[in-house]
Amino acid sequence: MKIHERYIDFIKVNDETPNSLITSIPAAGLKKSDYTTALNMIYMEHFLRSGNTYARYLHANIEKEIGKAAKDQKLTKKFKEDIPSNGIGDIIPLINGNTKYILLDWDRTVTTIEGMFFDGELLKKISTGEILLMDLLFYIMGGPERTEFIIAMFRRVIGSGIPIFIITNNPNASLQNPNRLLYIELIKIIFSVDDENANNMLYSAKDYGFKKYIALCNIPLVAFLVDSCVKIEKIKAKSPREKGEGEGEGEGEGEEDDLAVVVPTKKPRKSAATAKGLRAKKRKSKKRRRY
């Protein structure tokens, strides 16, 4: 039995019920892709009515894609894939006295939608104020009320001494991707933390096995990751704030990004002959210890 099967409680998050902001449901009988698109459009329109700048950005991109070839309809394709859900609710009642840390999936778990739309202009528009960071946060989190609820809940959990780690296999969260800076800014708001603790966003290059789940862990994080065939890559990296103050000076002198990247790795297989030899060696060792 694997370690995490004994010491980790996996709780599935409902990702099939449409988000509560969607007040009108499309008629039955639609193809799945058309039904999903309709729900995403209704969700977007809810935020358009309040003047949300990120919703306007999405709407403008949808308009641009009309009439284009399917391969160029990136946002349209995204709208066809997954419905906006309600994400996690209150996780505090799930915590027990043995809980050492919590792992959460990001898309439609912490957030209510699948991914963020990057067209190469998003970071630029945020930096110029054309898109407000809080508008983006409200959109992906399901509105201001849910955002405030999640922030307050995470503050209580972290304040009680239980760390929360968010895992995603979205390549935009990789340390090698400049878009990670946007994730860091969002995490700092959601967790009410500084640059260093915002690096609790972990990136996995492949599926890590519990999408749309809450994982309540009663064992050290390293033990879970090793047991799950996952390797932690630790690197020296400056926080975004430090980089802006003196970029290129004293490379490697910044604080270590602890558990910054998660890269799946396979455990080496032992041949039958090797395994037999190891068992024989273990028996001999036991015999020697008896005398």
Rounded to whole angstroms, how far apart are CA atoms 45 and 148?
A: 21
Which pairing describes strands 164-168 and 201-204: parallel, antiparallel, or unpaired?
parallel
Please give the model's pTM, rounded to 2 decimal places: 0.75
Comparing CA positions, the residue from 3, 6, 9, 5 lying closest to residue 226 is 3
Per-residue model confidence (pLDDT) at position 134: 97
The tens digit of pLDDT for each residue in 7-28 reads 778 889 999 999 999 988 887 7
The tens digit of pLDDT for each residue in 69-119 reads 888 888 899 999 999 999 999 999 999 888 988 888 899 999 999 988 877
What's the pLDDT band for 67 if we cut at 50, 70, 90?
confident
Rounded to whole angstroms, how far apart are CA atoms 160 and 182?
A: 27
Per-residue model confidence (pLDDT) at position 28: 79
φ, ψ (nearest 5 deg) of residue 256: -70, 135
| Residues whose CB is less than 8 angstroms from the CB of residue 178 and which lie 6 or more positions away in sequence, other chains included | 123
Burial of 125 per CB tally in 10 Å (0-12, 13-18, 19+):
middle
Mean pLDDT throughout 210-234? 60
Least reliable range by pLDDT among 79-88, 220-229, 261-270, 276-285: 261-270
